[in-house]
Amino acid sequence: MSEFIEIKDVNRIYRDAFGGSTYALKDINLSIARGEFITFVGPSGCGKTTLLRLLAGLDKPQSGILKINGVQITEPSFKRGYIFQQPTLFPWDTVYENVAIGLKARKVYQEKKHSIKNYIDMIGLDGFENSYPHEISGGMAQRVAIIRALINEPEVLLLDEPLGALDAFKRIELQNLLLKIWRQTGTTMAMVTHDVDEAIYLSNRIVIMTPRPGQIVDVVKVEILGQRNRNNDDFIALRKKILKKLHLVISDEELPEYVI
């Protein structure tokens, strides 16, 4: 039986105006199981966002195949929700209208509009339904962006550094929200981050990538017993292990970025 998501021999090359070319992704092979929470870490330019965009169908590889449920990914679909680093809410729509967009685009608004309120309640934004995006905070806006994708009940949620623009307190709050959503809905999560702690805290597996060319150097399983406390011994040991891996693959002066 084939895996839920399969990435096979994928290459994505960017060509510049002078005939040069950069491997954003080189020979990527990975499979993701249904219900998994997988994170991609690595320095900028390692192709982690490119990989996520390929999974969403927002970009196409030069060679190789990406499949979900055995079907090749060729274009964007509501079945693969995508969360950007910026909330990218539509400024002319209220919070409610923004969440409703997916249902309206799929023409299922009338049957499913009752669920909008549940989702808004879940992120604690009841009472803000009629607010416009500029009237709410960045953390609130990102929560709206998350449920805007969730309302379509996607098979997988692709998260491109969704918490990168938030402060430390909001980050932890939203990490817990993501965990709650993952446990409640069982949605497969694939998330790009540059925060090793965040990756350990949230995911089952961590994919470590390096730039020039963008490659996967290792996939680390997160096996922590009990609650994922950031000061838990297993947690600290795993953090050390990953940082060591990153240390092996990046030069010393780039390292401090990853010591959190």
Partner 1 sequence: MDISAQGNVIKKKRKWFDKPQVAEDSHYWKPKSEVWVWLAAAAYGLALLLNIIIPSQEVLDPHGYRVLLAAFIVLFVGVYLIALKRLQLRKKLYHKAQFIFALGLALAAWDLLTDKFEILPLPFFPSISEIIRVTIDDRALLLKSMLFSLRLFFVGSIVGAALGLVTGVLIGWWRQWDYWLAPIIRISGIIPAVAWLPIALVIFPTSFTTGVFLIVISSWFPVSSMMAGGIISTPKSYFEVAKTLGANEKFLLFRIAIPNAVPAMFTGITLAAAFSFTTLIVSEMVGAEAGLGFYINWAKGWGVYSKVYAAIIIIAIEFALILAVVGAIRNYFLRWQRGILK
Cα–Cα dist 146/149, whole Å: 5
- Count of beta carbons in the 10 Å neighbourhood of residue 240: 12
Identity at 90, one-letter amino acid code: F
From 248, 153, 242, 240, select the one nearest 193 (Cα to Cα): 242
Token reading at 108: 């299922």
Please, which residue, 126 or 135, has the CB nearer to partner 1?
135
Classified as helix, coil or strand, 234 is helix
Considering beta carbons, is residue 91 or 226 the nearer one to partner 1?
A: 91
CB of 182 to partner 1, least distance (A): 19
Structural tokens at position 188: 């497969």
SS3 78: coil
Instruction: Calculate the alpha carbon distances from 214 to 81, 153, 168, 178 in Å.
Output: 24, 31, 29, 27
Cβ atoms 25, 47 nearer than 8 A: yes
With residues binned 3-state (H G I as helix, E B as strand, rest as coil), the percentages for the chain, rounded to 5, are: 40, 25, 40
CB of 240 to partner 1, least distance (A): 36
Q: Could you tell me the smallest distance in angstroms from the CB atom of residue 112 to partner 1? A: 12
Q: Which is nearer to partner 1, 148 or 239 (CB)?
A: 148
Residue 170 CB, nearest approach to partner 1 (Å):
21
Task: Supply the minimum distance, in Å, between the C-beta of residue 169 and partner 1.
Answer: 25
CB of 46 to partner 1, least distance (A): 21
Of residues 62 and 77, the one with the C-beta less far from partner 1:
77
Of 73 and 216, the one with the shorter C-beta distance to partner 1 is 73
3-state secondary structure of 136: coil
For residue 71, the one-letter residue type is: V
Binding site residues, partner 1, CB under 8 A? 56, 58, 75-78, 80-82, 84, 86, 88, 90-94, 101-102, 104-106, 132, 134-135, 148-149, 152
Q: How far is the CB of 76 from partner 1 (least distance, A)?
A: 4
Residue type, position 94, single letter: T
- The nearer residue to partner 1, 39 or 152, going by C-beta atoms, is 152
Secondary structure class of 26 (helix, strand, coil): strand
Between 85 and 232, name the residue whose CB sits nearer to partner 1.
Answer: 85
